[in-house]
Amino acid sequence: MKTSIIKGIGYYVPENIVKNKDLEKIMDTSDEWIQERTGIRERRWVLEDSDESTSSMGTEAAKKAIENADISPDEIDFVIFATLSPDYFFPGSGVLIQRNLGLKEVGALDIRNQCSGFIYALSIADQYIKSGMYKNILIVGSELHSGALEKSTKGRNVSVIFGDGAGAVILQASDDPAKGIMSTHLHSEGKHAEELVVISPATKKWIDKLVEDPDDDGSSYAPYMNGNFVFKNAVVRFMEVINEALIKNNLNKDDIDLLIPHQANLRISQFVQKQLSLPDEKVYNNIMKYGNTTAASIPIALAEAIEKGMLNDGDILCLAAFGSGFTWGSALIRW
């Protein structure tokens, strides 16, 4: 059976940097308040008059991943695009990146698993490769949050957290059983769906109903998050799914050479790190400068970790995520 290796990786973030001090000018918040609760110092937001989109950022990340993999775009067999912020309600962004890259008429699958979207995409791609169906799969995680955030005191609990950006990998079939994805683990708990959610526009409350509702102040289509509840569930599920991966592969926490958690909140990452007794050099976080980029956070962080030389041949890499749905997952990879 083939194994799946990450052959190439790339990322893209907008040039526009929004610091916490900038947010103090448009909402009742402070740099100290934001850093204390999230660990975030700054994030990237696409400029309002920019032509950048979710698919265009994903395209730039994908170009870098293709170049890094040293393959031709014609060698890509399949595209998986993970996002909660697609360019359009439909079609999905997968076909847009297929068009932008000038790929042949390969399949394009869109993943809507929010913060755990990249892990879900990685797991799906791994199965396609292990079955022998595809050899080179382009996985993209891209988010343009800034256009949908309520940038005011009313929306500050959510708007200070999220940033824009994209990451991409080329997952490739390999004959080396000693390298590649060892296992992936996926879970969901839909009973908590409304604890982290955007309720509308939706098929039950479409544009005509929004326009006609005199009592709708816009809050129904702003992101809602029950922050404390999400935090408490996240720290539990992170630990469970990481341990699940270790047990599956007869490993223990000391075998992890690098952990890259989804960048939701620095406090969550630090809690997980403490529970696993991992030193700082074995955990990579970049939420401080990018905020939460949802489906893009893990591939962006992985790309930066590779640039910094934090992964060597044979290292055990653990990826883990938790988010809206609730959904969560992990992947264990021998580099």
Determine whether 318 is an active site residue.
no
CA-CA distance, 261 to 237, in Å (whole number)?
12
Position 2: which residue type?
A: K
Angle at 277 (CA atoms; ends 276, 280), nearest 5 degrees: 110
Neighbours of 9 (CB within 10 A): 23
Residue 292 designated active-site: yes
249 is catalytic: no
123: left (phi over 0), alpha (psi -120 to 50) or beta: alpha
Buried b / exposed e along 227-256 (16+ C-beta atoms within 10 A) = eeebbebbbebbebbbbbbbeeeeeeeeeb
Rg (CA), the chain: 19
Q: What is the DSSP string of 111-180?
A: E--GGGHHHHHHHHHHHHHHTTS-SEEEEEEEE--GGG---SGGGHHHHTTB--EEEEEEEEEES-TTSE
Residue of 20, 113, 115, 285 with catalytic role: 115
Catalytic residue among 262, 265, 285, 318: 262
Helix axes 297-307, 117-130, angle to 10 degrees: 80
Residue closest to 85 by CA, chosen among 98, 74, 96, 100: 96
Q: Which residues fall within 8 angstroms of residue 7, CB to CB, at 6 or more apart? A: 68, 69, 71, 136, 169, 170, 171, 172
Q: Which DSSP category does 230 fall into?
A: H
One of 68, 136, 265, 292 is an active-site residue; which one? 292
Task: Cite the active site residues.
Answer: 115, 262, 292
